[in-house]
Structures are given as structure tokens and as C-alpha cells.
Amino acid sequence: MIKKLMGCIRENKRNTILTPLFMVGEVGLECILPMITAKLINAISHGADMADILRYGAILVLMAIGSMSCGILAGWFAASASAGFARNLRHDLFAKVQSFSFANIDKFSTSSLVTRLTTDVTNVQNAFMMIIRIAVRSPLMLVFAVIMSVNMGGPIALVFLLVIPILAFGLIYIAKRAMPLFKAVFKKYDRLNNSVQENVKGMRVVKSFVREDYEQKKFGAASEDVRNDFTKAEKLLALNNPLMLLAMYICMILIPLFSAKVIISSAGLEMEVGDLSSLITYAMQILMSLMMLSMIFVMITLSGEAARRIVEVLDTEPGLKNPPQPVTEVPDGSIDFENVSFKYNPEAAAYALAEVNLHIKAGQTVGILGGTGSSKTTLIQLISRLYDTTEGVVRVGGVDVRDYDMEVLRNQVAVVLQKNVLFSGTIKENLRWGDPNASDEEMIRVCKLVQAHEFIMAHEEGYDRNIEQGGANVSGGQKQRICIARALLKKPKILILDDSTSAVDTRTDALIRKALREQIPDTTKLIIAQRVASVQDADLILVMDNGRVVAQGTHEELLASNEIYREVYTSQTKGGEDDA
Amino acid sequence: MPKPQMPKGERPKAPKGTMLRIIKLLMEDYKWPFLLAMLCMAVYSVGNISPSVFIKKISEIILNFTAGASWEEARPEVISVLVGMVALLVATIVFNYLYARLMAVITQGFLDKMRKRMFNKMQRLPIKYFDANGHGDIMSHYTNDIDTLRMLISQSLPRLIQSGIMLVGMLGIMLYYSVNLMAVVLVGVFGMTFAVKHIGGRSAANFIRQQRSLGQVEGFVEELMNGQKVVKVFCHEEASARDFDKVNDQLCEDATKATRFANILGPVMNNIGNMLYVLIAIAGCVFITLETPNISLSGLINGNLGAALELAVVISFLNIAKQFTGQVNGVAQQFNSIVMALAGADRIFRLMDESAEADEGYVTLVNAEERADGSLVEADRRTGVWAWRHPHKADGTVTYERLRGDVRMYNVDFSYVEGKKVLEDVTLWAKPGQKIAFVGATGAGKTTITNLINRFYDIEDGKIRYDGINITKIKKPDLRRSLGVVLQDVNLFTGTVMDNIRYGKLDATDEACIRAAKLANAHDFITRLPQGYDTMLTANGASLSQGQRQLLSIARAAVADPPVMILDEATSSIDTRTEALVQRGMDALMKGRTVFVIAHRLSTVRNADAILVLDHGRIIERGTHADLIAQKGTYYRLYTGAFELE
């Protein structure tokens, strides 16, 4: 995991290495400072000889400037390194998701991917900066300060031998006990947020059923849950400070005691007053670094979860790969299914699609009909190799789809998805997804074909009109037509419409089908629809039920032979006939 | 514990007022515990400063005894100082622990109370609020804003108070020993404030910029992840990655700047402290050599004002100066989080200050029994007969009106935004048991009419009568209880399938819920779920198809068994074959009920008692299916497919 994350440092290597280097400088100077101040104090206590004081003063100021410069540079590089590291992480994550197959996308929910790319990365970024700054600084400080105090106080430094273990064990004990508590708190927090979100989203339901009081009770319980767990965790952490103070005060009592003895007994030969205050400064430095160490220990462990989730995405192998020597040309728009079976999950017992055999000639129009859950969408997704079959072969233009270069295949097999989206940007920009170099004339041509030109031009900005995120400012039927136009700009050999005109009125629907038939006769067209009217003039109609193609034929044939088809047909046309 | 964020880069408008309000609320909830905690803090803060006093004393002793005296002579004096120190320090530790425990309870308790205050207030807000505010924005009050408040209460505020106490205490000590040296310290502090203002100010500005870019990255990622399958079918992966790099690079740049200034503040402050140290040492020595008279409180008390500065004073000043700058540094580090917390608290208060949904209704819904003579009396148990209890203010009498489900609208006008009429002069009537269908383009006002019946919004002009009673006189909860609503966008709650059906009527038995599920044709698919009715649903029932979720929401309304039902595109995601089955269940459900139906597919409204065709907020046609077909108007054109239903 760590290796994987380290791989994202890349061009920030220089900054990542410079940070701890300057940190060493800062810490080193910071640790020598008290020694010089000791000299300064001693000089004062000797009767305040101006020359000495100015000399030590000058050294001190220089060192302070040096330490400050190192500190500023370390902070500077650390900021660049961590922000750059986070950028690479996000870049890699995003690129990885782009390489995902449909099966991969199904595995991660949208919101979990968003969290991974934002909050999780920020957490790891903070941990990273901690590691290159504080995790270097604190142990170094600890070591330097111990060395300096031994050097200065000699046996008095043995006090630290007493104090450091007490503090270290105490802090580790608290951190270890606190960690699971905090993890529990985070989970409860998630649950709390989730319940608020449900409430806000479902406010109309809450109010309709007059469930305000019920919701308050529910929320109150969740909120108290968080409160209890959090209080428990914080009460435990409340031991941290007293422990720290205890250690500090032990130093503050013992060091002056021993120092006083040494100084007075040796008449200031072995040690002087200045050394006493420096020893105390070192004591503080040592204890502070221990405190920081325990803090980053907790923080880094907590961010481990975020790191794990990031690496989970980075480690995901794209489900589909290009063959070594891909076919780069789709000869024609014929489609063949040979004994095709498919399931989304290899462990699933039932097939989503079973034993499908189909032969569609180039240029044919094929209608697909069937109830919810009859796997119509599953069937067409195999054609442009959005998923790989579990058994059997799908061929396009006589070639196994697995032998094609995926980009070539998908450019020739255009799918208009059922759950389609437009992206924020102008209509033009959205259309150019189909062909980045499409001319205005071409765009107008396809928009006319799908009966979209008129409503686009009805708006004063025309093709430059901005589409809001998710296409919120166009109606469902208009969105569907722009989506079809976008797919047509690819000039595909096969066009698949997955219930793509469900929000379009029947007349426009008919006009679109007519235009498709007349203007792109060579393109194979597959149309999934709810309305019999949308498919009844197709060359071939497939009736699907429960993952199987239960019947295929023309409208007349099916009307004569297929029960389901007849039922759907009569239920949809009955009203009209009554009045006719 | 989400990271504190500052959405939209807002700064608090009246920081002082916000702060005072937080403290006021805190006092309301935890007056004595909080004051006690502050007392503990004051005690241990004093304890925290005391070592410098003791060290000064010991330094004095050492200086006095170094010249030829022996340790044995000095020992009693040293020990007596240390014993005093031990006592004080033990007290400090105890009080520190007490303080931390108290604060844990206070902080979490206060946050819990704030969350509940906010949530309870939110439950009382009109639908308008939820329509006008993004759900993400509302959510962030519970996550980011509450979290910044946590930091404020548990860290920044105590830190500020503590630093205040300690700074004043140290000023006192400095005043006591030497005003001259104090002046030097203050010069250093001035330098530090200058640094905070410059670096801290830039840090805050960049921080806000960073939050903005982070929001952009989030927005971009969310949009693209939602459309990832579209990206795939268009082979648009590389182009999206390129676009992402743009926002990503911007965020990196802003984050670098923001962190830089935050990182720099520490070392700068620290070393200004170090330089101050030198400055004091030099100044002290200069004062001593020049024998400048030392002005001090101790001098004033002991009557030797203007005596020369002592060495021990200079030494202890060095320590005090270090602590003093440490405290200033600590306050500076809180700068960002205080600004953020106040902004967050401001947003929380804005939510709490929203005006709640008003309800002047006084007519309530009660269980009733019919007496032999046909009059109604109130019953205290479930009788199956409901009545409106209508107290008359004028003469103090109470009348009962049987709940029948007769809804009428007279000349209703309505607009969401002033001046943009959504409904104009709408008049309609639904007799008990009738099925009324609304047909019309998106934005024609179909859903708006139903929003007015259950008073999610109030009409501007006209009248709405429910069983002859003006609906503004009916208490809103009672009114809504008498109306069942099934919406196109289904909202399910985390819990079992059974829980979700029972949401319609909390005291419904399992049998009643199953009966409702059967009525809605949901029973079949539910029994096929892994744990049947006990299957847990999460994330708005993500494991179910849209059609199945709609069936569940129909079952939920069915179990409530209200006399009036509103079905707003309730079957839009169910395929035509299943829809026919559901339709049968619905017809059973609707028997004897007044039903308002909004449907996209005209086939589902064909058997309505009246079909109202809406266009731009007006009713343009009205009649049965046969009437309207015969009229050959808009409905006819819609029905024959010559018109688009958008």
C-alpha cells in the first residue's frame, strides 16, 4: 500500500527530500539555541559583561535567523510536496477510473468514488505532510535534545530516563485505547449524516405522513449515540494532558533540585545557572516531541483507512483489455450472437442472459421488447463490449468483439444509454462528444434528423445555449434527442437506442424513426422500446422475457404467434380502438 | 469527524454577535459545568505560569550560595521552594484533568443539543426551504459547520480564554518585576502581531481560495462519475482526464499557497520569540551596566523603586518572555479555525432563525362514532370513522363533520416567485370517491395543484375547501394525515422493507403491511428478496429497481389508508405490463377514495371521472376521456400522439 502511494510522489521527489533536510537544519539549530542561551545567561550571571553578551547575542540572532529560514523553507517545500503529491494521487485515481470497465464502475458507487477523490485524498495529503515534517522533526528533536542535555547536565539527564518511558507508555496506551473508540465514532457519524440526508431528501414524504416527531426521535437517538461515544473517547484523551504535565513537572522539580546541588557544591564550576534554564528548555523540547509523536501516530493510523480506500481503486485491474493485436477496422454492421450467456457476477446462480442466438444483417432495423428486468439492456451492452460474455461469442462484422481495439469498436457501435446524461457546457460542446471536429453544418444535420434543431433554435442562444449539470434545464424528451444526435455524430455502423425516446411523443418518435430509416439506411439500428408503435415497422422484433429471447420475427408474425407480444400490443392500443 | 471546511468562502458577517450568541447558548445549556470548567482552567493556567516564579527563586538561591557556600546550607531553602512547587503542580494536574473531562462532556453535550435544535427546527420549516436550498448545503450544516463549532468550543474558545488569563498573569508578573523589561517584551509582541496579520491574513485568503477550488474539483468529479458510462461509450476517457487535470492543477496551486503560509507562521513566530530572548538579555544587561533605575511594582511595594535591575530578574524574564510569545503564537494558530468556526456558526444560526411553517388551523381530525340518529360523536379509539372536529369561536360550540374526501378549488391563483403566476383561476371539484386526472406539459402546474391541497404552499388568491371546510382552518398535520401522497421520486429510509411500509402508519401490524403490499402488487417481489420483508434497505433502496421502489411507496401509502390519495407520476418507472397489474391493485386501493392522478402515460388516466388538461397554469379542457376525445381538442391530439407531453 505504502509503495503504491509513494509512487505518486514523482516530480515532487526533490521537495519531499528537501523538506526533511531543512527540517534537520531547523531542529538542529533549535536544539543548539538553548546551549548558547545558557552561555548568555551565564555571562549575565557573571556580571553582565557587555562584550560577551553581544557576542552570544549575535550568535543567537544568527541562529534564530538560520532556524527561521530553514523552517520557512521546510514549510515551503512541504506545502509544494504535499499539494503536488495530492494532485498526482487525484490524477492517478481519476485516470484509473477512466480505464474502468462497466463492471468496475458497477462495483464502486458514484458517491464512494467522489469521496475517495476528495476527502480521502485530503486526509492522505495531510498525513503525508505530517510524515515529512513532524514525523521527521519530533524524533530528531527528541534525539538532539537528549544528546544536548546529557552533554550539558551530565548525570542530571538521567531524569529523562525516568520520565520518557512513563510518558511514552502512557501515551501509547491512551492512543491504542482511543483508536477503536474513534473509529466507532466515525461510523456513528456516518450513520447520523446518512439519516439527515434521507430526511432532507425525503422531506415531502416526512411532511405528507406527518412524521416530523418520529423523525426527531430517530435523529435524537442517533445524535445521542454519537455524543456518548465521542464523550467516551474524549474522556480518555483527557488523560493526555495531565500525563504530559506530570512528566513535565517531574522534570521541573528534579532538574532544579539536582542542578542546585551540583552548582552550589561545585561552586559553579561544573554547572552554572544558565545551564539550569537550558536544561529545562531541553526537557520541554523532549516532552513536546513525545506528545507530537503520539499525536501523529493517531492521525496517521486514522488516515490509514482513507489510504486503503484510495489504493483499492488504484489496485483495481480494468475489467476489459485490448487484445495484443487488435483489429482496427469494422467491416460492416452485422451482429451475431452465438450461444451467448451472461451473468454480472461470476458467483451468481442465475444467468442474466441465457443462450441467445441472433443474426442481424447490416442495415437492418431491429426492435427489442420486453418487461422490466428482462435483460434488454444487458443484451445490447454486449455488442459494444461494455461487458464480456460469460459464455458464447458476440461478433460484429463477423469478427469477435474481443478481437477489436475497443475504441474502434465503440466508435462504430454507438450506444445511446438508457440512463443518459448531458454534461455542463453548451449544446455544441455536448454534441462534439460524438465528434470533436464536427462542423456546424454536420451538427445541424443530425439535430434536424432527430427533430432537435427546432427546439434548439427556439432558444435565442441556439447551439451555444448552456446545459446545466445533468441537463437540468432541458426537458426529458429534449435531452433524449440531444443524446441521440450526439451518438449519430460518430457516424457509426451500428446505432443502439436503449429506450431513448421514452419521453418523446409518438409523432416525433415516428419522425425520428423515419429519418433514421431514410437518411442512414446502411446503419444497423437496434431499438429498445416500451411502445409497440416504436418497433412495429422494424425488420425484426425480439421479444425478451427473463433473460431469454423468447420470440423473434416481424410484427405480423409475432402478433400471430406470440402471447406476450399480443398482450402488450392490445393493452397499448385498446383505448385507441375503442374510440375509433 | 469530517474535516472542517469553509464552503463558498464566506466570512462571518457579525463575528462578535455570533460569538456572543454561542456563549449565550452555552450558558443556557451548561452554565455551571462551563463556569466550573473555566475555573479549573484558570487554576491550572496559574499553575502553568508558576514554574517560572519558582525557577527564579531557585536561581536567586543558587546565585546567593554559589560564592563559597555549601550545599547543606542551601538545601533547606531549595527544598522549601520545591515543596511549594510540588503542591501547586499536583493541584494543576488535578485541575487540568477535571477541566478536560468536563469539557468532553460539555462539548459533546452542547453539540448534541445544537444538532437537535437544528434538526427539530428543520422539521418545522416549510417545503419552500428545501426547494430553495441545495441538499448538499443543508447537509453541510450537520457536518462541516457543526465540526467547526466543535473545534471552537473544545479548542479555540478555551485556548483563547486560557491564553487571555495567562497573558494577563504574565503581564502582572512582569509588571511586578520590571516595567523596563516588560516594554522590551511588548516590542517583540508587536512584531509578532505584525507577522500574524501579514502571514495569517494571507493564509486565510488563500485558504478560502483553496476551498473554492476544492469545491470545483468535487463538482467536476461528481458530474463525471455520474456520467462515467457515457464517457466510456464515447471513448472520452482521455479528454475527461485532460479536463480534470485543469481543475486539479488549480487546486494544487491554491493548496500549495494556503499550506505554505500556514506552515511558515510557526517557525516565524517561534524565532521572533528567540530573537526577543536575545533582545531581553541584551537590554537587561544594558540596564544593569548603565544602572538604569528599574521601575516595578515590587519596587513600589518594597519602597525601593528605582533600584538597579537584579540579575535573577533578567533570567526569569527570559523564561517569561518565552512563555509569553508561546501564548501569542498559540492564539495566532487558532486564527484560521476561529474565523471558520464563526462562519459555520453563522450558517447554523441562519437555519435556526428561518421562520417555521405557520399553522393557524384549529380544525382537527378525530375518531368518531355514528349515533343512531346519524349524528357524530367523538370516540377515543379507532373506529374507522373519521370526523373533523370544528370548534366555533363565536359561540364556543363544537361541531363534527364526517371526513368524506370532498375537495374543491375556487378561482385559485398561485406563484412560487412573485409576479410569475404558475396557476391562474383554477377551479375544480372532486367528489368523494372520484378519480381526477391532471394532464399537461412539464411546468403546466399539475404538481403545484397537489402541493396546494396538502398546503406545502399556500394559495395566493381563491379558496380551497375540504369537506366544506376552508383548508387554512384545518391543522396542517391533520390535513396531511387525511391525504396519501405517492411521488415520482421515491424516498425510502434505511431500515427493513417492513419498516418502510410501516412508515405510512406507525402502529400497523405486520399483517396490515403485507396486505398493503399485496394491494400494491409489491408482495411478489418482496418475497423474492433475500430476507423477504426483513431485507435491509440502505441508500434509498439502491438494491431495488426504480419500479420496485415505486411499488413500495404505493404500499406505504396504502397502509396509511387515507380518504384522499394523490398519485404524482406514481407508476412512471414501471413497465407497461407490470403497470397494468399495479393499476388493478391501485383501482382496488382507490375504491371509495378521492384520487388525484398525475400521469405521463395517458392509458392510466383513461378511466378517470374527470380529466383536467392544464396548460400554462390554466385548465383548458375538462371532461371524461370520451368527452375529451369527442371534443377533438388538446387532449385528443395528445392522445393520438400528435403532441408532445413535455
pLDDT in tens, A82-115: 999 999 999 999 999 998 888 888 788 777 788 7
B642 touches chain A (CB under 8 A): yes
What is residue A372's DSSP assignment?
T
The C-alpha atoms of residue B635 and residue B615 are separated, in whole angstroms, by 11
DSSP one-letter string for A489-506: TT--SEEEEESTTTTS-H
The C-alpha atoms of residue B122 and residue B125 are separated, in whole angstroms, by 5
The C-alpha atoms of residue B490 and residue B545 are separated, in whole angstroms, by 11
Which residues on A lie below 8 Å from B103 (Cβ)? 234, 238
3-state SS, residue B432: coil
In the predicted structure, residue B7 carries a pLDDT above the cut 50: no
Q: Is the pTM higher than 0.95?
A: no
Binary contact (A436, B239; C-beta < 8 A) = yes
Q: How confident is the model at residue A37, as a pLDDT? A: 80
In the predicted structure, residue B315 carries a pLDDT above the cut 80: no
The C-alpha atoms of residue A103 and residue A264 are separated, in whole angstroms, by 79
Closest alpha carbon within chain B to A53: B282
Mutate to test the interface with A, among B79, B119, B280 (most CBs of A within 10 A): B119
- Which residue's entry shows cell 530516563? A161
How far apart are the CA of A45 and the nearest CA of chain B, in angstroms?
A: 6
How far apart are the CA of A223 and the nearest CA of chain B, in angstroms?
A: 6
Instruction: Kindly indicate the confidence band of residue B10, based on its pLDDT and cuts at 50, 70 and 90.
Output: very low
**What's the sign of the alpha-carbon dihedral A196, A202, A204, A209?**
negative
For residues A532-551, give the mean pLDDT. 87
Which region among A328-337, B7-16, B624-633 has the lowest average model confidence (pLDDT)? B7-16
Give the whole-number percent of chain B exceeding pLDDT 70: 91
Binary contact (B259, A83; C-beta < 8 A) = yes
Q: How confident is the model at residue B2, as a pLDDT? A: 36
3-state SS, residue B621: strand
Q: Which of A139, A136, A98 is nearest to A117 (CA)?
A: A98
* Residue A252 contacts residue A283 (beta carbons within 8 Å): yes
Binary contact (B576, A53; C-beta < 8 A) = no
Query: Which one is predicted more confidently, A205 or A407?
Result: A407
Residues 495 through 514 of chain B touching chain A, CB cutoff 8 Å: 503-504, 506
pLDDT in tens, A352-377: 888 999 999 999 999 998 876 678 88
What is residue A522's DSSP assignment?
T
Residues 428 through 457 of chain B touching chain A, CB cutoff 8 Å: 442, 454, 456
Query: Which one is predicted more confidently, A488 or B178?
Result: A488
Binary contact (A249, B93; C-beta < 8 A) = yes
> Which distant-in-sequence residues (6+ apart) come within 8 Å of B556 by Cβ?
B486, B500, B501, B503, B504, B516
How far apart are the CA of A480 and the nearest CA of chain B, in angstroms?
A: 12
* Residue A499 contacts residue A455 (beta carbons within 8 Å): no
Q: How confident is the model at residue A153, as a pLDDT? A: 77
Tell me, what amino acid is at A22? Answer: F
Binary contact (B575, A469; C-beta < 8 A) = no
> Which distant-in-sequence residues (6+ apart) come within 8 Å of A492 by Cβ?
A411, A412, A413, A414, A523
Mean pLDDT of chain B: 79
Which residues on B lie below 8 Å from A507 (Cβ)? 641-644
Instruction: Kindly indicate the confidence band of residue A278, based on its pLDDT and cuts at 50, 70 and 90.
Output: confident
How far apart are the CA of A463 and the nearest CA of chain B, in angstroms?
A: 20
How far apart are the CA of B502 and the nearest CA of chain A, in angstroms?
A: 11
What is residue A397's DSSP assignment?
T
Q: How confident is the model at residue B22, as a pLDDT? A: 85
**Could you tell me the domains of chain A?**
2-315 (1.20.1560.10), 335-579 (3.40.50.300)
Q: How confident is the model at residue A578, as a pLDDT? A: 38
- The C-alpha angle A372, A375, A377, rounded to 5 degrees, equals 95
Which region among B318-332, B350-364, B537-551 has the lowest average model confidence (pLDDT)? B537-551
pLDDT in tens, B182-199: 888 888 888 888 888 888
Instruction: Kindly indicate the confidence band of residue A448, based on its pLDDT and cuts at 50, 70 and 90.
Output: very high
Question: Distance of CA B155 to CAs B150, B570, B640, Å?
Answer: 8, 50, 69
Mutate to test the interface with A, among B63, B141, B252 (most CBs of A within 10 A): B252
For residues A150-164, give the mean pLDDT. 82
pLDDT in tens, A416-432: 987 778 888 899 999 98
Binary contact (A216, B119; C-beta < 8 A) = yes
Q: What is the 3-class SS of A130-174, one letter each residue? A: HHHHHHHHHHHHHHHHHHHHHHHHHHHHHHHHHHHHHHHHHHHHH
Q: How confident is the model at residue B5, as a pLDDT? A: 40
In the predicted structure, residue A504 carries a pLDDT above the cut 80: no
Binary contact (B456, A207; C-beta < 8 A) = yes
Which residues on B lie below 8 Å from A122 (Cβ)? 3, 214
Instruction: Kindly indicate the confidence band of residue A579, based on its pLDDT and cuts at 50, 70 and 90.
Output: very low
B246 touches chain A (CB under 8 A): no
Q: Which of A359, A423, A420 is nearest to A393 (CA)?
A: A359
How far apart are the CA of B526 and the nearest CA of chain A, in angstroms?
A: 15
Which residues on A lie below 8 Å from B135 (Cβ)? 197, 200-201
Which region among A208-212, A476-480, B249-253 has the lowest average model confidence (pLDDT)? A208-212
B107 touches chain A (CB under 8 A): yes
Is the ipTM higher than 0.90? The answer is: no
Chain centroid offset of residue B305 CA: 60
Q: How confident is the model at residue A88, as a pLDDT? A: 94
Query: Which one is predicted more confidently, A34 or A571?
Result: A34
B622 touches chain A (CB under 8 A): no
Which residues on B lie below 8 Å from A70 (Cβ)? 267
In the predicted structure, residue A189 carries a pLDDT above the cut 70: yes
B631 touches chain A (CB under 8 A): no
Mutate to test the interface with A, among B144, B221, B236 (most CBs of A within 10 A): B221
Candidates A71, A200, A260; nearest CB to B61:
A260
Residues 336 through 395 of chain B touching chain A, CB cutoff 8 Å: none
Binary contact (B311, A406; C-beta < 8 A) = no
Tally C-beta pairs within 8 A across A and B. Answer: 447
pLDDT in tens, B426-480: 788 877 778 888 877 666 677 788 888 888 888 778 888 888 788 888 888 888 8
Mutate to test the interface with A, among B230, B265, B543 (most CBs of A within 10 A): B230
pLDDT in tens, A473-489: 777 778 889 999 999 99
Highest mean pLDDT (candidates A33-47, B136-150, B341-355): B341-355
For residues B242-246, give the mean pLDDT. 91
Binary contact (B281, A123; C-beta < 8 A) = no
**CATH for B407-639?**
3.40.50.300
| Exposure of B493 in the CB half-sphere (CA atoms within 13 A) | 25
Closest alpha carbon within chain A to B73: A264
Tell me, what amino acid is at B273? Answer: G
Q: What is the 3-class SS of A82-99, one letter each residue? A: HHHHHHHHHHHHHHHHHC
Candidates B1, B62, B93; nearest CB to A273:
B62
* Fold (CATH) for B7-353: ABC transporter transmembrane region fold (1.20.1560)
Cell, residue A474: 432541458
Question: Distance of CA B168 to CAs A442, A454, A542, B164, B329, Å?
Answer: 77, 76, 86, 6, 15
Which residues on A lie below 8 Å from B645 (Cβ)? 505
Binary contact (B3, A123; C-beta < 8 A) = yes
Query: What are the extents of the domains in chain B?
Result: 7-353, 365-402, 407-639
Instruction: Kindly indicate the confidence band of residue B574, based on its pLDDT and cuts at 50, 70 and 90.
Output: low
pLDDT in tens, B92-127: 888 888 988 898 899 889 988 888 888 888 888 887
The C-alpha atoms of residue B458 and residue B461 are separated, in whole angstroms, by 9
Candidates A75, A84, A199; nearest CB to B267:
A75
Mean pLDDT of chain A: 85
> Which distant-in-sequence residues (6+ apart) come within 8 Å of B566 by Cβ?
B450, B453, B454, B483, B484, B485, B486, B595, B596
